[in-house]
């Protein structure tokens, strides 16, 4: 039987849910990936429940008994119960029919058996009935496939009905170190043409999930081998450099303090770094952004990824920090991260130094100081500040005194140039 000790939250919740379900004569199930993860003894945070009958009626009763708040979605007969620190989703058990391949399904309330049949893989089609006697429902051999490390669809039309399952199959295979069993594998090629019918939003979401995995490079590599990456961009190149770049990023992000304090990488940056990395290998960033209906930040990441990949040779030959600064100065953090992990050796060191240090270099003097010295605000101020910054970046000056001397020198030079009629 399932060991719930790995999920203390469930241990606390289940008796409450079970009592309510039995009192109002509804059957409630814990269902899907959570059961897979519990059986594999992997940590799990998302709990999905299915209610045979009406999830809204059940959740209302729960809230009436235990408090908390409800968000209801009557069209889908689903509800979210916010209880203490938890947010728990309840769905009415349902069947799904696909009017056309790759389109969203038509949903009808149904028994748990049919609800399990609509699911993607045997390992995700497991349910725990909460009503007493508690019982694990495994209609398709999910437990056996978990033991054998196998990804198996429930029926032959599965990938055609919903081609996002191709991406899901690869993601679970790589995450769990499983393999797609031979018959399921034989169903992949015939389903490939249907990927083009997926909306940009759905396709994008699959990639966002992959970028959020612990080892996205493994899934991307597998998608490449299966010919699935071409649906982002027919010319996308998945090479060893890109594979290693995803790995290097992971190592960088693993040191959370360094990532946050030195790089200013936000916790949710993995997705846009993923886009920047793929952008570095696309032929047409605009087309990729349009196909996936990317938002503005992700679109900038794809374009920036392509730009920085092209700039790396110039960064490699730059002699001074100020030259690196001039090359990289308007690129966002995610793109700089991508550039750094795509590069190696000295070039990586330069991008890293720029992203973590050089871009924050500013002179100590400001326009206010110049005004105090009797200078009139104008283009000269910008020129002085830029000059000071360049000199600081390149290590020519490092103290306030040296900055003052630098400004005096520039002004004296300009006066001398004026006197000889030259343009400063």
Contact footprint for ligand ATP (CB under 6 A): 32-33, 46, 48, 119-120, 124, 162, 164-165, 168
Residues in CB range of 351: below 8 A, 6 or more apart: 308, 312, 315, 324, 328, 336, 339, 340, 343
Handedness of CA 28, 34, 39, 44 (dihedral sign): negative
Residue nearer to ligand ATP on the CB measure, 46 or 100? 46
Residue nearer to ligand ATP on the CB measure, 155 or 383? 155
Residues in CB range of 345: below 8 A, 6 or more apart: none
Min separation Cβ 80 and ligand ATP, Å: 14
- The residue of the chain with the least Cβ separation from ligand ATP equals 33
Min separation Cβ 175 and ligand ATP, Å: 8
Min separation Cβ 167 and ligand ATP, Å: 9
Residues in CB range of 102: below 8 A, 6 or more apart: 160, 161, 162, 163, 194, 195, 197, 198
As a whole number of Å, the end-to-end CA separation of the chain is 83
Residue nearer to ligand ATP on the CB measure, 65 or 183? 183
Min separation Cβ 371 and ligand ATP, Å: 58
Residue nearer to ligand ATP on the CB measure, 24 or 107? 107
Residue nearer to ligand ATP on the CB measure, 33 or 363? 33
Min separation Cβ 188 and ligand ATP, Å: 15
Min separation Cβ 321 and ligand ATP, Å: 43
Which helix (H) or strand (E) segment holds residue 82: the answer is strand 78-83
How far apart are alpha carbons 199 and 194 in whole angstroms?
A: 11
Residue nearer to ligand ATP on the CB measure, 168 or 350? 168
Cis ω before 133 (30° cut-off from 0): yes
Residue nearer to ligand ATP on the CB measure, 116 or 288? 116
Helices and strands counted in the chain (H then E): 22, 11
- Taking alpha carbons only, the member of 222, 224, 225 closest to residue 233 is 224
Residue nearer to ligand ATP on the CB measure, 162 or 403? 162
Residue nearer to ligand ATP on the CB measure, 164 or 347? 164
How far apart are alpha carbons 392 and 408 in whole angstroms?
A: 16
Min separation Cβ 84 and ligand ATP, Å: 22
Phi, psi of 310 (to 5 degrees): -75, -25
Whether the Cβ atoms of residue 182 and residue 133 lie closer than 8 Å to each other:
no
Min separation Cβ 78 and ligand ATP, Å: 12
Whether the Cβ atoms of residue 342 and residue 308 lie closer than 8 Å to each other:
yes
51 token code pair = 């209610």
Min separation Cβ 120 and ligand ATP, Å: 4
Whether the Cβ atoms of residue 117 and residue 146 lie closer than 8 Å to each other:
no
């Amino acid at each position: 039987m399932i060991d719930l000790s790995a999920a203390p939250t469930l241990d606390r919740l289940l008796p409450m849910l079970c009592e309510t379900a039995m009192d109002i004569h509804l059957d409630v199930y814990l269902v899907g990936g959570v059961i897979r993860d519990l059986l594999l003894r992997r940590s799990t945070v998302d709990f999905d429940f299915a209610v045979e009958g009406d999830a809204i009626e059940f959740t209302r009763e729960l809230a009436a008994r235990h408090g908390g708040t409800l968000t209801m979605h009557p069209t889908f007969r689903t509800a979210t119960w916010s209880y203490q620190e938890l947010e728990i989703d309840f769905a009415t058990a349902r069947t799904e029919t696909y009017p056309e391949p790759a389109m969203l399904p038509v949903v009808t309330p149904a028994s748990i058996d049919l609800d399990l049949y609509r699911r993607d893989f045997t390992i995700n089609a497991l349910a725990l009935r909460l009503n007493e006697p508690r019982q694990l429902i495994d209609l398709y051999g999910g437990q056996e496939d978990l033991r054998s490390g196998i990804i198996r669809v429930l029926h032959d039309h599965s990938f055609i009905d919903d081609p996002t399952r191709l991406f899901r199959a690869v993601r679970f295979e790589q995450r769990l170190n499983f393999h797609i069993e031979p018959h399921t594998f034989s169903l992949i090629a015939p389903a490939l043409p249907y990927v083009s019918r997926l909306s940009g939003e759905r396709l994008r979401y699959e990639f966002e999930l992959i970028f959020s995995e612990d080892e996205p490079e493994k899934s991307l590599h597998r998608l490449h081998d299966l010919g699935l990456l071409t649906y982002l961009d027919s010319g996308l190149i998945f090479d060893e450099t890109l594979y290693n770049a995803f790995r290097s990023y992971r190592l960088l992000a693993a040191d959370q303090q360094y990532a946050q304090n030195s790089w200013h990488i936000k916790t949710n940056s993995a997705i846009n770094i993923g886009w920047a990395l793929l952008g570095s290998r696309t032929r047409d960033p605009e087309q990729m952004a349009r196909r996936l209906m990317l938002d503005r930040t992700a679109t900038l990441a794809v374009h920036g990824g392509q730009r920085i990949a092209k700039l790396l040779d110039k960064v490699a030959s730059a002699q001074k920090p100020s030259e690196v600064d001039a090359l990289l100065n308007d690129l966002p953090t995610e793109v700089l991260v991508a550039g750094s992990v795509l590069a190696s050796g000295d070039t990586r060191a330069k991008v890293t130094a720029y992203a973590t240090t050089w871009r924050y270099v500013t002179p100590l003097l400001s326009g206010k100081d110049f005004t105090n010295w009797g200078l009139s605000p104008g283009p000269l101020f910008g020129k002085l500040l830029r000059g000071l910054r360049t000199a600081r970046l390149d290590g020519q000056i490092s103290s306030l005194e040296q900055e003052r001397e630098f400004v005096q020198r520039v002004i004296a030079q300009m006066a001398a140039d004026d006197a000889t009629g030259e343009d400063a």
